[in-house]
Structure 1
Amino acid sequence: MGIITILCGLFLSTCTTTGKKKDLQKLEVVPWVDLNRYAGTWYEIARYPNRFQKDCYATSVTYTIQKDGTVEVINTCRSGSVNGKEKSIRGKAWSVDPQTQAKLKVQFFWPFRGDYWVIQLDENYQYAVVGHPKRTYLWILSRTPSLDEQTYAAILGRLQEQGYDTSKLLRTQHPEVR
């Protein structure tokens, strides 16, 4: 089975949910996302486990703004190990909240769509945290394949304040940079 990475899980989450719901506050997004600055390549630093990224390593995503205002999404990872076969999937995203541009819909296969909410964003667009309104999915992204531990710890602290169980996060392995 081909890999369906990062955002594919988001669209299916609208179809099924499991477990009991906690009484959580509404998930807040960042005040504003400049999609032109957000465009480019991001590396996955950590994620909640999901069936769409099983056996996925060295995950990255590239966003490209299209002429019609949508965003082309290309998710890539390596299967089995950081040196495994590269697999990719292409989709599209679009803003559903023009006041913030922090709430997007993502679609890889018609007619399925999923929520992609930017819940943390570095002022210099060096890291971002993407969540789902039901807190069933979570990704920490960086412009580089690694993130310093102090920044990572600060992100985790804010995620806990937002009602996320950070003990469920899996750190993503990337090839060693030499």
Structure 2
Amino acid sequence: MPTVPTVDLNRFMGDWYVIANIPTFLERDAYNAVESYALDDDGNIPTTFTFNKGAFDGPKKTYRPKGFVRDTQSNAEWGMQFIWPIKADYRIVHLNEDYSQVIIGRNARDYVWLMARTPTIADADYERLVQKIAQFGYDVTKLKKVPQQSLDER
């Protein structure tokens, strides 16, 4: 699966709200899902994934995988390690020029994440990004919107 030509890692770091995904078993029933990236001095990317389980006021879950840039030419292909020694395929396949919306895909086309810097995006943006996900070969009928509260409601 092709990636974007280049990613400025410093600009990519920070919080990304999961707008929709084909969820992994960990993400089923996730509300307010946020993936936060930081860049270590050694180039690794400690990640914090948080969400509420089952409802907006459900128990908060936190996972701390670590990202490893595999393609240092583009910075768009990573390995994401939840459990040692497995580094899952993680590809930045679409990234808005202003770093406001991203699609993360996998070669296996089993999971996908549509994320944004804000908890919600315009319907037109959502539809356009879903079309891109379909063009990457995903079955978009498996795509699930992740319930997100506005920042004021959290």
Moved >2 Å (runs of 4+): none
> Quick check: 54-63 or 125-134, which moved more?
54-63
1:167 shift after superposition: 1.6
Once the two structures are aligned, what percentage of the paired residues are identical? 32
In structure 2, C-alpha distance between the alignment counterparts of 1:127 and 1:58, rounded to whole Å:
16
Q: Equivalent residue of 1:62, what SS?
A: strand
Pairs within 5 Å for 1:41-80? 41-80=15-54
- Which of the numbers 13, 29, 39 marks the counterpart of 2:13? 39
1:55 shift after superposition: 2.2
Asked if the contact 2:38/2:45 (under 8 Å) is kept, the reply is: yes
The alignment yields a C-alpha RMSD, in angstroms, of 1.2
State the TM-score, normalized to the length of structure 1: 0.82
1:74 maps to amino acid: T
In structure 1, the residue matched to 2:104 is: 130
2:43 maps to amino acid: G
Deviations 1:48-82 (CA, angstroms, capped at 9, x unpaired): 03212122211001000011111110000001101
Matched, 1:102 2:76: yes
In structure 1, the residue matched to 2:116 is: 142
Unaligned stretches of 5+ residues in structure 2: none
1:111 shift after superposition: 1.3
1:142 shift after superposition: 0.3
Unaligned stretches of 5+ residues in structure 1: 1-26
Higher strand share: 2
Deviations 1:118-176 (CA, angstroms, capped at 9, x unpaired): 01100000010001111011000000000111111111122222211212110000124
In structure 1, the residue matched to 2:56 is: 82
In structure 2, C-alpha distance between the alignment counterparts of 1:51 and 1:87, rounded to whole Å:
13
In structure 1, the residue matched to 2:67 is: 93
Asked if the contact 1:79/1:85 (under 8 Å) is kept, the reply is: yes
Asked if the contact 2:4/2:95 (under 8 Å) is kept, the reply is: yes
Asked if the contact 2:119/2:150 (under 8 Å) is kept, the reply is: no
Asked if the contact 1:83/1:175 (under 8 Å) is kept, the reply is: no
In structure 1, C-alpha distance between the alignment counterparts of 2:143 and 2:63, rounded to whole Å:
23
Provide closer, same or farther for how the CA distance between residues 173 and 32 of structure 1 changes in structure 2, counting only shifts above 3 A.
same
1:116 maps to amino acid: Y
In structure 1, C-alpha distance between the alignment counterparts of 2:53 and 2:112, rounded to whole Å:
20
